[in-house]
Amino acid sequence: MNTKFLILVAFILLFAESNAQLSSYNDNSEYGIAQKISDKAKQRNLGKIHDESSKMRPTAGKGGWFLRYEKGWVYYNPKNQNAFAIWGDIMKKWATQGYETGWLGFPASDHSNTPNRTGAFVHFDNGSIYWSPNTGTHFVGGAFRDYWKNKGWENSSELGFPKSDEMEIFSNGYTRYQQFEKGTLFWGPDKSVTYSNNSNTTTPPNDETKVLSFTPNLISGAEVSIDVTEVIQLYGWMDLRVYKGNGQEITDADGKSFSLFNIQKKQPVSVTDYNLDFFRIADRHYNISQSDIDGNAYLRITYWLNDKDVTNSDDYLKLENYNGRWNYNGGDHPYREIKLKEIVRNGSDKKYLDIGSDGSDKVWISYYLTIK
> In this structure, what is the dihedral angle of CA atoms 359, 360, 361, 364, given to the nearest 10 degrees?
70
Which amino acid, one-letter code, is at 283? D
Distance of CA 280 to the CA centre of its chain: 36
> What is the H or E stretch that residue 143 is in?
helix 142-151
H helix count then E strand count, the chain: 6, 23
Which pTM does this prediction carry?
0.55
| Alpha carbons 270 and 264: distance in angstroms, whole number | 18
pLDDT of residue 214: 85
Nearest partner of 166 among 191, 138, 129, judged by Cα? 138
Distance of CA 28 to the CA centre of its chain: 42
pLDDT of residue 158: 93
> What is the H or E stretch that residue 2 is in?
helix 2-19
> In this structure, what is the dihedral angle of CA atoms 268, 269, 272, 275, given to the nearest 10 degrees?
100
Q: Find the radius of gyration of the CA atoms of the chain.
A: 31
309-318: per-residue pLDDT in tens? 766 667 888 9
| Alpha carbons 131 and 137: distance in angstroms, whole number | 4
What's the full length of the chain, in residues? 372
Which amino acid, one-letter code, is at 324? G
Average pLDDT over the chain, rounded to an integer: 84
pLDDT of residue 278: 54
SS3 category, 76: strand
| Alpha carbons 171 and 196: distance in angstroms, whole number | 15
- Give the helix ranges, DSSP H, for the chain: 2-19, 28-43, 88-96, 142-151, 290-294, 340-346
pLDDT of residue 14: 43
Annotate 3-18 with DSSP letters as a single string: HHHHHHHHHHHHHHHH
126-166: per-residue pLDDT in tens? 999 999 999 999 999 999 999 999 999 999 999 999 999 99
SS3 category, 265: strand
> What is the H or E stretch that residue 34 is in?
helix 28-43
pLDDT of residue 9: 44
Distance of CA 207 to the CA centre of its chain: 22
Which amino acid, one-letter code, is at 299? L
The answer to whether 156 and 140 have CB atoms below 8 angstroms apart is: no
- pLDDT values of the chain reduced to their tens digit, one per residue, 372 residues: 455 544 444 444 444 444 444 444 445 568 899 999 999 999 999 999 999 888 999 999 999 999 999 999 999 999 999 999 999 999 999 999 999 999 999 999 999 999 999 999 999 999 999 999 999 999 999 999 999 999 999 999 999 999 999 999 887 778 999 999 999 999 987 788 989 989 999 988 766 678 888 888 777 666 655 444 567 778 888 888 999 988 899 888 777 766 666 776 666 666 555 555 555 555 778 888 877 887 789 999 998 888 877 666 678 889 998 999 999 888 899 999 999 999 998 987 889 999 988 877 888 888 889 998
Q: Domains along the chain?
A: 1-74 (no CATH), 87-205 (no CATH), 209-371 (2.60.40)
9-19: per-residue pLDDT in tens? 444 444 444 44
127-132/136-141 β-pairing: antiparallel
